[in-house]
Amino acid sequence: MSERDDKRDATAPAVTTVSGAESPAAGAESPASGAESPAAGAEGPASGAPHGPGLARTRPVAVVGGTRIPFARSDGPYATASNQEMLTAAVDGLAERYGLDEPGAVGELVAGAVLKHSRDFNLARETVLGSKLDARTPAYDIQQACGTGLQAVIAAANKIALGQTDSAIAGGADTASDAPLGVNDTLRRILLEVRRAKSPGARLKALARVRPAHLVPDIPRNAEPRTGLSMGEHAAVTARAWGVPREEQDQLAAASHQRLAAAYDSGLLSDLVVPFRGLDRDQNLRPGSTVGKLATLRPVFGLDAPEPTMTAGNSTPLTDGAAVVLLASDAWASARGLPVLAHLTAYETAAVDFVEGDVAGGEDGLLMAPAYAVPRMLERTGLALSDFDFVEIHEAFASQVLATLAAWEKRGLGTVDRSRLNVAGSSLATGHPFAATGARIVATLAKLLAERDAPGRGLISVCAAGGQGVTAILERW
């Protein structure tokens, strides 16, 4: 995000749009602050900010392509695959497809994972060193829960827009199978005391405090630290607040599976998915899914309230996988004879107070931050929901998608034509490796826009743990 270095009123910060004009910082009228400036070219490929103190000229950011491995249910085919192995497979697939193995081909790699071992402290860089990329390619990690993949794309896009690099790979990987198991915290403290002890007697005295219960590992929990509730339980609260019916959730879930199956059958994903460990399609995909079949499943979330509606069928399963996207300047792509699928033209992040805010009323539910981010982004770009040919909403839960649509309508954005919503399926069908989902959506949306062979525009909305949301706009001129 480009910002002026000149003095500003500390109580009224501003963000710089691609045209160089300053707009008030987001969050002044809602609890969901956190605006981002557009990557490039909200007004088309000729846009560029004027030169000034600390302000570089911006340029369009092209989405050239993407690659991912098929996503797999946790404890399945990828049970022993590490984040690095999966991310490397996705990066290598991209490198092979676009000839990125020559020296200096890529400016940098930006990637992350949500569930990380201590050995993954430098995941992106280690992935470079084990991949087909030039070993001299810089890389760094990024993490924003389920928004990690899209936030990695934004970070890379900013450098390209500012001319700091000409190309970058962005994405992420996550495994719910090879999850890190921590040492019991009491045992950890005892072992650290042993290390600090100055004599054998002091070491033995510390070790004597170890009890069998201390040998139980610290297992990662799918729960928010501030509330103790899982994401599913939080979503159930929101579903009740917005009155989301069970049948509508099942309809959305069935459509996701049917549309993903059609996307595979049509060849849309043929150059976006590379086989890995015996899979060539997402393991969670159920082409024969119907509302009738989904209606037979028992609710699994929100069981503490009457008439729970959320089931395993209309909720995303724990998933393993990796996905990456190739971003570049138009000149870089042209010099290599690579067609541009679309351009990243705007993005916005937001957060809600899901602890003390209006949770019961649905406004500040854990996964409702996109309900704030998207209206701000559309106001800033002068667009309406009706201006989008495709709308891609990450399907953490069918209820969350439907609550987000209802919130947008309540905020005056209008309704989304369901024929334009997640037209190639989404997370309910593919699964959701936390840090990989953003890159999957960007690559798929860019391909959808390119196949239209006409100007078009797509909206991306990703909710994330911690009450956050990351949103973006892709355009094809």
112 - beta bridge partners?
172
- Which of 146, 257, 343, 394 is the catalytic position? 146
Q: CB count, 10 Å around CB of 331?
A: 12
Query: Which pLDDT belongs to residue 404?
Result: 98
Query: Which pLDDT belongs to residue 56?
Result: 52
Determine the Cα–Cα distance for residues 99 and 106; give it in Å rounded to an integer: 10
Query: Which pLDDT belongs to residue 40?
Result: 40
- Dihedral angle, C-alpha 304, 309, 314, 320, nearest 10 °: 0
Is the distance from CB of 18 to CB of 43 less than 8 angstroms? yes
Helices (H), 197-285: 200-207, 231-242, 246-266
- Which of 234, 257, 343, 432 is the catalytic position? 432
Q: What is the DSSP letter of 147?
A: T
| Interval 172-183: pLDDT, tens | 999 999 988 888
Query: Which pLDDT belongs to residue 220?
Result: 76
| Interval 126-168: pLDDT, tens | 999 999 999 999 999 999 999 999 999 999 999 999 999 999 9
Low-confidence ranges of the chain (pLDDT < 50): 1-55
Determine the Cα–Cα distance for residues 327 and 62; give it in Å rounded to an integer: 6
Cα–Cα distances in angstroms (integers) from residue 398 to residues 20, 134, 195, 209, 216, in the given order: 39, 41, 50, 49, 36
DSSP states of 271-301: TTB--BTTBSS-TT--TT--HHHHTTSPEEE
Query: Which pLDDT belongs to residue 140?
Result: 98
- Which of 234, 257, 394, 463 is the catalytic position? 463
pTM score:
0.87
Helix axis angle for 398-410 and 246-266, nearest 10°, is 110
**Is residue 146 flagged as an active site residue?**
yes
**Is residue 432 flagged as an active site residue?**
yes
What would the two tokens of residue 189 be? 């403290």
Cα–Cα distances in angstroms (integers) from residue 279 to residues 70, 97, 207, 257, 433, in the given order: 6, 19, 47, 17, 16
Query: Which pLDDT belongs to residue 4?
Result: 31
Reduced to 3 states (helix: H, G, I; strand: E, B; else coil), residue 337 is: coil
What would the two tokens of residue 233 be? 């339980």
